[in-house]
Structure 1
């Protein structure tokens, strides 16, 4: 049975992000190789990954080479740095599905790049990226930026445990 994973904000090829977010890499190349290795250590060939945006700053050829090396079926929810390129550009780069808008998953989880406003009285959870090392309080917002997850996709099972920690899944 395939597993589901979520992650965001790899910023492949973006050297300045190392300094902006105090990432523990000496170069963009080291960052790329480490993040590919960590992705493939967690994600199997038949698993599904929602990437919640800001995937790559590289050209299509280099981006496609990275996508091809990553395990799993990949869906991109476009982030602010992805939107300068068309949906078809990302499909051509190797993503199986690409959405320009947030996706509702399981009728309960809003998957988006930027955090969305969720009324505290509503029973929804926003799984998002965009804010890198920052984090919102409470269980209605789960930041899946690479900085929070040791540069490794997080399983949907782990996300569900964060929302309902004491219930049987």
Structure 2
């Protein structure tokens, strides 16, 4: 199975609490990290693939290697093969460290990397997966899955925010627990819900 997420911001202490930008009602980053890990692993299996569309973690420690190892330790607790699209908070050093410490799960690497984005075909649609939302113009059967903006829904029906804070979960019949990567079915439901909403508004 394939799943999709973005903007986990593991270890990002400044996001804790209630805010319009990213409401995360946790007392500590450990609580937030553990909640995401638990909800992720309830859905994602060992051999599943998760596209993470950037901003994995924010942890500024010295020496830098200690912070990178802490991030790796968290990612190693997450089920599945992680295809990582670089976000604005994802350093080159992090990607290099993960690549250096990569390993195989049943013949497939734990981590794969994309600097800008990735493209897949799914149920007769093409999905461009990027960190930043894209302005694609008039397109048919092309959807942009993205993160970056947290609380905001881009007013373009082909752009779907898959971040853990996305307001576009309102298009789902059942909202998954915080930090749960979205399934293919949920992505399709969000796409259809936003399309209908867009037609009503315009």
TM-score bucket of the superposed structures, by smaller chain: 0.7 to 0.9
- The match for 1:6 is 4
Q: What is the deviation of 1:123?
A: 3.5
C-alpha displacement at 1:18, in angstroms?
A: 2.0
Aligned partner of 2:82 in structure 1 is: 74
Once the 2 structures are TM-superposed, how far is the Cα of residue 121 of structure 1 from its aligned partner? 4.0
Task: List gaps (5 residues or longer) in structure 1.
Answer: none
CA-to-aligned-CA distance 1:25-59 (integer Å, 9 cap, x gap):
11111100101001101111111000000001231
Superposed counterparts of 1:39-50, under 5 Å: 39-50=40-51
Q: Tell whether 2:173 aligns with 1:158.
A: no
Give, in whole Å, the separation in 2 of the partners of 1:86 and 1:12. Answer: 13
Residue among 95, 98, 102 paired with 1:90: 98
Q: Which runs of 4+ in 1 moved over 6 A?
A: none
Q: Please give the residue correspondences for 1:102-121 in structure 2 after superposition, counting only pairs within 5 Å.
A: 102-106=117-121, 108-121=126-139
The TM-score normalised by the length of structure 2 is 0.74
Q: Contact 1:60–1:93 (CA<8 Å) still a contact in 2?
A: no
SS of structure 1 residue aligned to 2:141? coil
Q: Is the 8 A contact 1:9 1:146 kept in 2?
A: yes
Gaps of 5+ in 2: 60-66, 103-109, 167-175, 194-202
Greater CA drift, 67-76 or 105-114: 105-114
* 1:87 to 1:62, Cα distance in 2 relative to 1, 3 A: closer
